[in-house]
Amino acid sequence: MTVLERYEPLVDDPATFYAACERPLPAVVRVNTIKTTVEQARAALEEVGIAYEATDWHPGVLRLPDAQPGANWPYVHGWLHGQEEVSAVPAEVLAPQPGERVWDACAAPGSKTTQLAALMDDEGLVVATDDNMGRVSALRSNTERLGVTNIAVTVEDARNHSLKPFSSQADEPGPTTADGAMYDRALVDVPCSCEGTVRKNPDVLDEWELDQVEGIAGVQKGILRRAVQATRAGGTVVYSTCTFAPEENEAVLEYAIAEEPCEIVPFDLPLDASPGITEWQGETYDDSVTRAKRIYPHQNDTGGFFCAKLEVTG
């Protein structure tokens, strides 16, 4: 059995699913509204003769059928960022507001981090954490190229994330160490077994091993748990992966709602998607995991993705 055949019972139309997984993805860019507007960026692409197709769900996410994202004038001004279409979903679901405090728990190389900052009009605070120093230099290069100023970067294991650096001066208004400098929102876009990126990187299926799925699920649970702990009551946590494996998706949500004060909440998504599943290989999950969304490559001609929205209740 191939890795993708493992998920055949989950998809409505396996033949279309397999066919979509075989096709390469078009280049896609997101317009960086910290430095420009969607209208200006589109005008710049027209001026330099690069064809684009607007996606029907997001005016600032553009497909470039004939070009690479990184070699044109709007790119060198930091107006565009190469980012796969479904990768733009979780930041939109988290919907951070200007002035809020937001944690990006697995931030490098920064596509979603910079999208969070743009949604906040580069105001407030994004704390961007990653445990890999090499990937953090890519993150910093991207945040600087895109003009992000509301970011603090930490290199640490997200499971042990410390809020300490983010207190304010005792004589200044704002959160202090004593009140925990809790986050309003957190994005938990975890490392995963990545079958959803097969259209970009077919080798991902050769490297897939069940042992690794089980190992990485433990890390995912730890990071999601820390994010719920670090977010204030009433705050929002978004959990996302680019894997189809229920062990890394619904099972991780099931763990979080059992161990921490939070619940899975419904959300609208202007893309075709399937609900989270409640049964997998003899395991059953809470009914509320059906509020999560599974995005398969054949549904919107994108990569594969999983996204859930949680509200912190206590």
Partner 1 sequence: MAPDDADGDAMQDNHSDRFDRLPTTADERVVEGRPTRAAVLSWWNERFGIDPAVFEPYSFWERGAGKIWIFYGDLASPVDVDGLGMMALRTRQEHWKPTLEAVQRFGGHATTNCIHLPRPAAATFLAGEDQELDWDGDWGYLIVTHELAGEPEPLGVGLYVHDELRSMVPKGRRRELG
Q: How far is the CB of 179 from partner 1 (least distance, A)?
A: 13
Is 242 an annotated catalytic residue?
yes
Position 59 contacts partner 1 (CB under 8 A): no
Contacts of 146 (CB under 8 A, 6+ apart): 32, 34, 35, 78, 81, 114, 117, 118
Candidates 106, 192, 242, 262; catalytic one: 242
Token pair listed for 47? 């001026």
Q: How far is the CB of 131 from partner 1 (least distance, A)?
A: 11
Q: How far is the CB of 25 from partner 1 (least distance, A)?
A: 23
Closer residue to partner 1 in complex, CB, 1/71: 71
Position 150 contacts partner 1 (CB under 8 A): yes
Strands 231-241 and 125-130: unpaired
Contacts of 170 (CB under 8 A, 6+ apart): 176
Q: How far is the CB of 28 from partner 1 (least distance, A)?
A: 20
Closer residue to partner 1 in complex, CB, 155/213: 155
Contact positions with partner 1 (CB under 8 A) in 126-145: 128, 136, 139-141, 143-145
Q: Which of 123, 207, 209, 283 binds partner 1 (CB under 8 A)?
A: 123
Q: Which of 1, 170, 178, 258 binds partner 1 (CB under 8 A)?
A: 170
Report d(CA 56, CA 79) in Å as an integer. Answer: 20
Position 312 contacts partner 1 (CB under 8 A): no
**DSSP string covering 180-197, please?**
TT-EEEEEEE-----GGG
Q: Which of 14, 26, 63, 167 binds partner 1 (CB under 8 A)?
A: 167
Token pair listed for 251? 């099972």
Position 69 contacts partner 1 (CB under 8 A): no
Token pair listed for 95? 């919907």
Position 40 contacts partner 1 (CB under 8 A): yes
Position 19 contacts partner 1 (CB under 8 A): no
In sign, the C-alpha dihedral spanning 250, 215, 186, 26 is negative
HSE, CB side, 13 Å, CA atoms: give it for residue 7.
Answer: 24
Q: Which of 122, 189, 195, 254 binds partner 1 (CB under 8 A)?
A: 122
Q: Which stretch binds partner 1 (CB under 8 A): 28-36, 195-203, 223-231, 242-250?
A: 28-36
Closer residue to partner 1 in complex, CB, 163/204: 163
Peptide linkage before 109 cis (omega within 30 of 0)? yes
Position 265 contacts partner 1 (CB under 8 A): no
Residues 71-75: contacts with CB under 8 Å, at least 24 apart: 72/45, 72/48, 73/44, 73/47, 73/48, 74/36, 74/41, 74/44, 74/45, 74/48, 75/29
Q: How far is the CB of 114 from partner 1 (least distance, A)?
A: 12
Cβ neighbour number for residue 225 with a 10 Å cutoff: 18
Cβ neighbour number for residue 266 with a 10 Å cutoff: 11
Position 169 contacts partner 1 (CB under 8 A): yes
Q: What is the set of active-site residues? A: 242
Binding site for partner 1 (CB under 8 A): 34-36, 40-41, 43-44, 47, 71-74, 76-78, 122-125, 128, 136, 139-141, 143-145, 147-155, 165-170, 172, 174
